[in-house]
Structure 1
Amino acid sequence: MQIVLAPNAFKECLSAPAVADAMEEGILRIPADIRTVKVPLADGGDGTTDALVSARNGVFVELTVHDPLMRPVTARYGLIDDGETAVMEMAQASGLWRLREEEKNPLLTSTFGAGEMMRDALDRGVSAIIVGIGGSATTDAGIGMAAALGYRLLDGQNREIDPTGGNMQELAGIDDTYAHPHLKKIKIHVACDVANPLLGPNGAAPVYGPQKGATPEMIFQLEDGLATVARHLQAYNRRFRPEMPGGGAAGGLGAGLVGFCCAELRSGFDLIADYARLDDALADADLALTGEGKIDHSTRFGKVPAGVGQRAKKHNIPAVALAGGIFGDVSSLYEEGISALFSITPAPISLAEAIGRARVLIAQTSEQVIRLWLLKN
């Protein structure tokens, strides 16, 4: 019997590889002929790098970059496929987690640090970069990233602008004379888990600006700035379309990656699952076990448990999902290929205790799920 272990991370608790290890620990307590195949996953947000480095036996690279407020910090990304592919999360450098509450202000923040990670990978000669763009502190349409990659972003007097969200309106020209020479020679895949466009009522500024510290007045300024960058990107790159789904992700970084770098936006789950070779593992499996920290009605929209269920369904095998908590009506997940859902908490406990005991609870629940499964198989 072969079981594929394909969880997401349990946020603020365990990485996806650690969750898969805990599942395996519980299952292997059972005295039965069971083979486990671990395929830790992500949806383009936290855990993307850990999942792919684990799945593809890669290595980590540490480097000094700038945080959203241009302070030096240590970040890391991964190299897989013998160094041919870099995998990174923009939030390592430019994420909201880097800022204290009182520091949040998308007029002052920049994706420059995310661009520095990309530049380091390009300097190492990679042929592809995978970028997860969840959890950003920025709304700069990727001009900070572009500046780090060598683009000169010019105002009306032909002076370089400071590439922050508050300065987007000053953009009057794009000069790629000094852009990294390898940038247009490689493939850049963007793992994106939202479909918001760059502009409009469902765009980057009104939807995601408030969580980054934007006031209503700031949102109007950011929208104008994003529109300014969009006009110049359309002139610079004929393939760029501001209305494209996902362009508004990470404060417009999705749009910036397409416009400046000719990147491809993809569903975060699908991109990670393909690189992790999930379908290859499922082809020979009898059961898939997935999960993440929280499962609710939104899980069906691009999240890992739903994606695993859909792919398991195509292979005609059942999928079971574990969660730290299950909230509200989740019956729609049954249509996505999930056969059953289990909470790992056996009794009322505090969040702190659940986090502290997560590995033990995941192992115990995984063991009980498989013992139940074996009664019928």
Structure 2
Amino acid sequence: MKFLFASDSFKGTLSSQKTAELLTKAAREIFPDCRYDSIVVADGGEGTTDAVLAATNGQKISLQVHGPLWEDITCSYGILDQNRVVMEMAAASGLPLVPKEKKDPRYTTSYGTGEMIADALKRGYRDISIAIGGSATNDGGIGCIRALGGKFLDDCGQELKGCGEDLIKIRKIDLTELNPLVKECKFTVMCDVTNPLCGKDGATYTFGGQKGATPEIQKELEVGMCNYRDIIKQQFNLDMDTIPGAGAAGGLGTALMVFLNGTLKSGIETVLDLVDFDEHLKDVDIVVTGEGATDWQSVFGKVMQGVGVHCKAHHIPAVAIVGSMGKGAEDIYAYGIESIITTVNGIMPLSDALEHAEDLYLGAARRLFKLLKAGMQISKA
């Protein structure tokens, strides 16, 4: 019997690595002679870089960039091999980097994300995977592109700084000084939202509020974003309101696609590719995955869905241990997950469940493996 453990983290309590440790302990108790493998996974959101590095024995490199408010900050990205790196835009331009009292997407920039990309290019890396969730910005990605040498000019031909309030001022986009190494590079953009650039479902109206934009500020930013859209359509003959994901990360999705020829791809699919997940499935009898809370959202680009789909394609059963089950949790069964076991074993306050997350998870793992053993005994009867 060979197991593969590939669970998402339980936010705030258990890391992906810790779930693997607990599953290994429980498996050894119930199946002393079993073989097992484990792999750290994430869905392209927060923690993606660390997960991929842990799974591939990669290394992290730190650098100083401009944060979302133009302040000097230290961020990092991951080196997988001589050609590939993985990074998160939130490391340089993320919402947690902005104090609550200073949240206002008119003034935040993705410039630091561009500096991360420029650093990777300078060091010789030509295959860049970038997760774009958790942004503090609504600048259409112009800050990022400016850090790479692109220029966004106003009606006087002056270069704009590269933040949300500049979008309305753009009259011309000049890429003549864009870093030439960009043309040698493959950009994979991890993104699981399908929002267009503008409109009621676009970047500003969908995500602006959580970034500190009042309804009045959203209206102002939307006018600017529409101007940006129109300039792109005029110069590049691309309508970003018709391209799913263009509105991701305050419009950074648009900039990466239009100016860097980036390809948008599911976050979990990108991660599974980076960690060679299908190779780990060889000779595996059953996969154990999971996440903190399972509900209807779990089938939209989350870890359990990605793992389940790959297992199903290889005719390998997958089961899950989760913290809780909400409305629509059983939708995951259509994606290769055969059964779900929750860690909570009785009525308890959420605070207790979080405080005792490790013990509860270990108990659930033991129950899972005992059930599997019973199933094996039935099949032999």
**TM-score w.r.t. structure 1 length?**
0.94
The structure-2 alpha-carbon separation of the partners of 1:260 and 1:13, relative to structure 1 and needing over 3 Å to count, comes to farther
> What does residue range 51-130 of structure 1 map to in structure 2 within 5 Å?
51-80=51-80, 82-130=81-129
Give the aligned partner of residue 183 of structure 1.
182
**Counterpart-to-counterpart distance in 2, 1:252 and 1:21:** 39
- For 1:26, give the aligned amino acid: A
Give the aligned partner of residue 162 of structure 2.
163
- For 1:63, give the aligned amino acid: L
Give the aligned partner of residue 372 of structure 2.
373
**Counterpart-to-counterpart distance in 2, 1:5 and 1:238:** 46
- Structure 1 residue runs without a partner (length 5+): none
Give the aligned partner of residue 24 of structure 2.
24
**Counterpart-to-counterpart distance in 2, 1:352 and 1:113:** 37
The structure-2 alpha-carbon separation of the partners of 1:100 and 1:85, relative to structure 1 and needing over 3 Å to count, comes to same
Counterpart secondary structure, 1:376: helix
- For 2:116, give the aligned amino acid: M
**CA offset at residue 165 of structure 1?**
0.8
Is the contact between residue 187 and residue 263 of structure 1 (CA under 8 Å) also seen in structure 2? yes
**CA offset at residue 91 of structure 1?**
0.7
Is the contact between residue 295 and residue 330 of structure 2 (CA under 8 Å) also seen in structure 1? no
The structure-2 alpha-carbon separation of the partners of 1:89 and 1:21, relative to structure 1 and needing over 3 Å to count, comes to farther
Is 1:230 the counterpart of 2:266? The answer is no
Q: Which deviates more, 220-229 or 84-93?
A: 220-229
> What does residue range 1-377 of structure 1 map to in structure 2 within 5 Å?
1-80=1-80, 82-238=81-237, 241-377=240-376
**CA offset at residue 284 of structure 1?**
2.3
Is the contact between residue 311 and residue 336 of structure 2 (CA under 8 Å) also seen in structure 1? yes
**CA offset at residue 350 of structure 1?**
4.4
Q: Deviations over 1:316-357 (max 9, x none)?
A: 222112222222242211122211112223344444444444
The structure-2 alpha-carbon separation of the partners of 1:7 and 1:261, relative to structure 1 and needing over 3 Å to count, comes to same
Name the Cα RMSD after superposition.
Answer: 1.9
Is the contact between residue 7 and residue 19 of structure 2 (CA under 8 Å) also seen in structure 1? yes
Is the contact between residue 6 and residue 290 of structure 1 (CA under 8 Å) also seen in structure 2? yes
Aligned residues: 376
Q: Which deviates more, 360-369 or 166-175?
A: 360-369
The structure carrying a bigger helix percent of its residues is 2
Counterpart secondary structure, 2:251: helix
Is the contact between residue 5 and residue 38 of structure 1 (CA under 8 Å) also seen in structure 2? yes
- Structure 2 residue runs without a partner (length 5+): 377-381
**Counterpart-to-counterpart distance in 1, 2:356 and 2:65:** 34
- For 2:251, give the aligned amino acid: G
The structure-2 alpha-carbon separation of the partners of 1:158 and 1:92, relative to structure 1 and needing over 3 Å to count, comes to same
**CA offset at residue 152 of structure 1?**
1.8
**TM-score w.r.t. structure 2 length?**
0.93
Is the contact between residue 15 and residue 47 of structure 1 (CA under 8 Å) also seen in structure 2? no
Is the contact between residue 290 and residue 322 of structure 1 (CA under 8 Å) also seen in structure 2? yes
Is the contact between residue 121 and residue 181 of structure 2 (CA under 8 Å) also seen in structure 1? yes
The structure-2 alpha-carbon separation of the partners of 1:173 and 1:14, relative to structure 1 and needing over 3 Å to count, comes to farther
**CA offset at residue 196 of structure 1?**
1.1
Q: Which deviates more, 170-179 or 50-59?
A: 170-179
The structure-2 alpha-carbon separation of the partners of 1:234 and 1:25, relative to structure 1 and needing over 3 Å to count, comes to farther
**Counterpart-to-counterpart distance in 2, 1:239 and 1:190:** 18
**Counterpart-to-counterpart distance in 2, 1:356 and 1:88:** 31
Structure with greater Cα Rg: 2
Is the contact between residue 140 and residue 168 of structure 1 (CA under 8 Å) also seen in structure 2? yes
Taking only the aligned residue pairs, the percentage that are identical comes to: 39
Is the contact between residue 140 and residue 251 of structure 1 (CA under 8 Å) also seen in structure 2? yes
Counterpart secondary structure, 1:140: coil
**Counterpart-to-counterpart distance in 1, 2:26 and 2:235:** 55
